[in-house]
């Protein structure tokens, strides 16, 4: 599809045509997806917002594929049958049939077997809406125990007959040369030219590490760096516990704790005056990944000075977890989203360090990437694409050459070239 205007995409989806929305990091896939979801909602239409993992689902305010389609812990249709879940329950049939649009975000993380189960459920339930698959197969691959099989390898991928929409403009960085290197790394085409460019980004950090956000491959490294830097800042430590409000008496504590982890909300947010923080969502006066310094701490507010000098007074914001239930609305039974619980916390994290996985969707300045912790396909590209400029980016000396660091799963590469 040549045009990517919101109205064109809506017309295409509402005609029943399935879409695959793709593009590199920073090209606006998430923004466009949220606009599509909002447009459907404004017309009173129902949207299932789904993803393969809890974290990806939390980012779009939805739920996992396994939860929505009641797949249990099955990893294939054969496993589904073995576990006695092949035939969907009546309430699942009602739920799926009520949807006008099914969105699957981070489609690159969905295995072929899971996509086949999704299509099976859609057929079983008589779904007559459209499917919107969103993601980049040159980023995070499926997490499986055995051989990786991407969604595009499933028979159902061809049967869905997706129309592909590719976003190309990088809204995160305006540096043409850097964007060219990013694209080369994304496609694992690191020549001598890219090698020299990346090598120039190996620079000393100096003694004051608090100026930077370090990007690590593991939770442990990020936690230890944050703890070490926080302890080095003088002053009183404030601990802000995440507050939860339960709307459904049937909600169990482990559900709240699991969602808290998926939504990247800490149980306790520890801060001091003077520490750097990153905003973790978008608002009218700050954006996801933007950096600031804590200048004042109160019981119910945190004051943060951004790099442009503006001070933002932050209050706790609510992150809601909901589920679909059948309710009577105006004497008619309908499927509606009912809130289970809401978590309230300040939308910030310590800026000293963050993992590559948890930085998804962020645009970060003054970034240091620890290349020694790159271990998964496309992970280096995901890390590199968080940067808003090469002038505020430092790379640590890798243990292997750049070409080996920028590895991509060959099947994903082959699909991207098609």
Asked whether residue 2 carries a pLDDT value surpassing 50, the answer given is no
If you average pLDDT over residues 366-371, what whole number do you get? 97
- The pTM assigned to this predicted structure is 0.94
If you average pLDDT over residues 58-81, what whole number do you get? 94
Q: Which residues contact 238 (CB under 8 A, 6 or more apart)?
A: 270, 271, 272, 297
The answer to whether position 190 is within a domain reads: yes
If you average pLDDT over residues 381-387, what whole number do you get? 96
Whether residue 219 sits in one domain with residue 355: yes
The pLDDT value recorded for residue 143 is 80
Whether residue 186 sits in one domain with residue 98: no
- Residue tagged 């396909």 (tokens): 377
Whether residue 227 sits in one domain with residue 259: yes
Whether residue 208 sits in one domain with residue 121: no
Distance CA 127, CA 24 (A): 30
pLDDT per position as a tens digit, 134-176:
999 999 889 887 889 999 999 999 999 999 999 999 999 999 9
Q: How confident is the model at residue 197 (pLDDT cuts 50, 70, 90)?
A: very high
In the structure encoding, which two tokens stand for residue 165, read together?
């929409």
Q: What percent of the chain has pLDDT over 90?
A: 89
The pLDDT value recorded for residue 330 is 82
Whether residue 100 sits in one domain with residue 71: yes
The answer to whether position 372 is within a domain reads: yes
The answer to whether position 268 is within a domain reads: yes
Whether residue 264 sits in one domain with residue 137: no
Taking all residues of the chain, what is their mean pLDDT, rounded to a whole number?
94
For the chain, how many structural domains are there in total? 2
Query: What range does the domain containing 329 cover?
Result: 182-405
Whether residue 144 sits in one domain with residue 213: no
pLDDT per position as a tens digit, 98-125:
999 999 999 999 999 999 999 999 999 9
Q: What are phi and psi of 283, to 5 degrees?
A: -145, 180
The answer to whether position 162 is within a domain reads: yes
DSSP alpha helix (H) spans, 201-313? 219-232, 253-262
Q: Between residues 146 and 56, which one has the greater pLDDT?
A: 56
Distance CA 37, CA 338 (A): 17
CATH code: domain of residue 45: 3.40.50.300
pLDDT per position as a tens digit, 343-362:
999 999 999 999 998 998 89
Asked whether residue 1 carries a pLDDT value surpassing 60, the answer given is no
Return the number of other C-beta atoms located less than 10 Å from residue 323's C-beta: 14
Distance CA 291, CA 42 (A): 33
The answer to whether position 325 is within a domain reads: yes
Strand partners, 395: 369
The pLDDT value recorded for residue 333 is 87
- Cα distances from 3 to residues 164, 323, 382, in angstroms, run 11, 34, 26
Q: What is the C-alpha end-to-end distance of the chain, expressed in Å?
A: 15
Nearest CA to 322 among 334, 335, 313? Answer: 335
Q: How confident is the model at residue 3 (pLDDT cuts 50, 70, 90)?
A: low
3-state SS, one letter per residue, for 82-134: HCCCCCCCHHHHHHHHHCCEEEEECHHHCEHHHHHHHHHHHHHHCCCCEEEEE
The answer to whether position 417 is within a domain reads: no
The answer to whether position 321 is within a domain reads: yes
């Amino acid at each position: 599809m040549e045009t990517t205007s919101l109205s064109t995409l809506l017309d295409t989806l509402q005609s029943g045509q399935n879409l695959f929305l793709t593009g590199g990091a920073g090209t606006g896939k998430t923004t466009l997806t949220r606009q599509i979801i909002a447009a459907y909602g404004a017309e009173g239409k129902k949207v299932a917002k789904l993803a393969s993992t809890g974290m990806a689902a939390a980012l779009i305010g939805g739920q996992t594929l396994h939860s929505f389609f009641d797949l249990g812990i099955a990893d294939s249709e054969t496993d589904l049958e073995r576990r006695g879940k092949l035939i969907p329950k009546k309430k699942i049939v009602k739920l799926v049939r009520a949807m006008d649009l099914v969105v699957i975000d981070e489609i690159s993380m969905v295995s072929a077997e899971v996509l086949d189960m999704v299509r099976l459920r859609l057929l079983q339930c008589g779904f007559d809406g459209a499917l919107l698959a969103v993601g980049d197969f040159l980023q995070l691959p499926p997490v499986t125990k055995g051989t990786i099989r991407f969604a595009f390898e499933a028979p159902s991928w061809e049967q869905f007959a997706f129309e592909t929409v590719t976003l190309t403009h990088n809204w995160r960085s305006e540096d043409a040369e850097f964007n060219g290197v990013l694209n080369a790394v994304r496609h694992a085409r690191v020549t001598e030219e890219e090698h020299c460019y990346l090598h120039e980004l190996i620079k000393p950090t100096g003694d004051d590490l608090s100026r930077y956000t370090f990007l690590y491959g593991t939770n442990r490294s990020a936690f230890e760096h944050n703890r070490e830097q926080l302890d080095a800042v003088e002053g009183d430590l404030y601990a802000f516990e995440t507050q939860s409000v339960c709307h459904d008496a049937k909600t169990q504590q482990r559900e709240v704790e699991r969602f808290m982890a998926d939504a990247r909300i800490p149980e306790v947010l520890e801060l001091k005056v003077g520490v750097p923080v990153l905003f973790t969502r978008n608002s009218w006066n700050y954006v996801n990944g933007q950096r600031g310094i804590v200048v004042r701490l109160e019981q119910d507010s945190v004051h943060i000075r951004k790099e442009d000098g503006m001070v933002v007074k932050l209050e706790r914001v609510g992150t809601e977890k909901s589920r679909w239930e059948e309710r009577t609305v105006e004497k008619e039974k309908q499927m509606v989203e009912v809130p289970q619980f809401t978590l309230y916390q300040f939308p910030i994290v310590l800026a000293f360090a963050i993992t590559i996985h948890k930085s998804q969707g962020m645009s970060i300045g003054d970034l240091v990437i620890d290349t020694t912790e790159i271990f998964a396909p496309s992970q280096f590209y995901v890390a590199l694409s968080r940067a808003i400029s090469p002038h505020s980016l430092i790379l640590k000396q890798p243990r292997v050459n750049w070409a080996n660091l920028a590895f991509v799963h060959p099947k994903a590469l082959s699909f991207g070239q098609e």
